[in-house]
Structure 1
Amino acid sequence: MTHIDRRAARVLLVDATQRVLLLHGGDPARPGQRWWFTPGGGLDEGETHAQGAARELFEETGLRLHPAELGEPVHHEVTEFSYDHRQYRQDQHFFLHRVPAWEVDFAGFDAHERRTITEHRWWTIAEIDASDEEIYPLDLTSLLRRCLAESESLRSH
């Protein structure tokens, strides 16, 4: 099976009550299947991970950040998945960004995002742990616990 190699960046957007923003959507090739995922996506030609993460965050949530505001990636993974009848191998970096609160605005969606993203929700770690819905990345609660603990440690110094 041939995979399309893709570079991507994603954002763990966390509010003041420690909830993470997840988007809900699916694959046009599998209309009955939906899952939750972090904002982000594929990088444009020549983009850094931080630039791509900032661009995707603005497109998908309306939150405009300078790439430097994202800091360094907090997680890296390679994942393989099927989307729109194609197989992908995605090398992705995750950034953590905290906001006091944020009202999500889907106005920046491109045609592809309008077809595939249907809603958003702020989730607590406990809600993710208790959910039987598909949520990506698969280890999201472990990742959040680690990143939030590290972030709190840095804030206290």
Structure 2
Amino acid sequence: MRPELGKKLIAATPTNRLSSRVLLFDWEDRILLFLTTAPDTSGVARWLTPGGGVDPGESHHQAAVRELQEETGLVIPNLGEPVWSHDFVVAWDAADHDTGHAEFYTATVDTFVPSDLLWTDEERVDVLAHRWWSLAELAASTEPFEPAELVELARNTLVEKNQ
């Protein structure tokens, strides 16, 4: 049976996905984001920080380090403590989970072009672009971002970083 477009499929057992994300800044205080296709039949895309799911037996920190390497090629073994956590309900109709919990870490690096050598086949299809965004560009943009609090989160992180 085919689901109707725009209606979320509800799993028999609700699923919560743990994820880790990295607010990756360069020395000019720009943040690296990836434009990715959302798990939704609408085909919508949104800008995200590097990161992804926590594998079984893995800590949030370990997942952040692994995901950063897989999605950018960077190896930063010590990302410190999370700077923000976020519990959310999933609105995308083709997602494999109903709710999520994300832990956000931060790092500052030299500007670079992310490597796709460790991307999954799915990422090679879903990742449409990457870009280093200034806070002013983020604040002025009407493009979709996840999480919705990204501008404020980036602003607060930069204030703390530059003190």
Partner of 1:120: 130
Kindly report the root-mean-square deviation, in angstroms, between the aligned alpha carbons of the 2 structures: 1.6
Q: Does 1:148 align with 2:158?
A: yes
Q: Does 1:98 align with 2:98?
A: no
Unaligned runs of 5+ in 1: none
Unaligned runs of 5+ in 2: 1-9
Counterpart selection for 1:75 from 67, 73, 84: 84
Secondary structure of the structure 1 residue equivalent to 2:22:
strand
The aligned length equals: 151
Output aligned runs, 1:1-157, within 5 Å.
Answer: 1-2=10-11, 3-27=14-38, 29-30=40-41, 32-66=43-77, 69-81=78-90, 82=92, 84-153=94-163
* 1:69-109 Cα deviation digits (max 9, x unpaired): 20000000111222535443110100010002222111110
After the TM superposition, list the runs of 4 or more consecutive aligned residues in structure 1 that deviate by more than 3 angstroms.
Answer: none
Secondary structure of the structure 1 residue equivalent to 2:122:
helix
TM-score, scaled to structure 1: 0.89
Larger Rg: 1 or 2? 2
Give the conservation status (yes or no) of the 8 Å contact 1:9–1:41: yes
TM-score, scaled to structure 2: 0.86
Bigger fraction of residues in strand? 1
Give the conservation status (yes or no) of the 8 Å contact 1:12–1:20: yes
Identity of aligned residues (%): 36
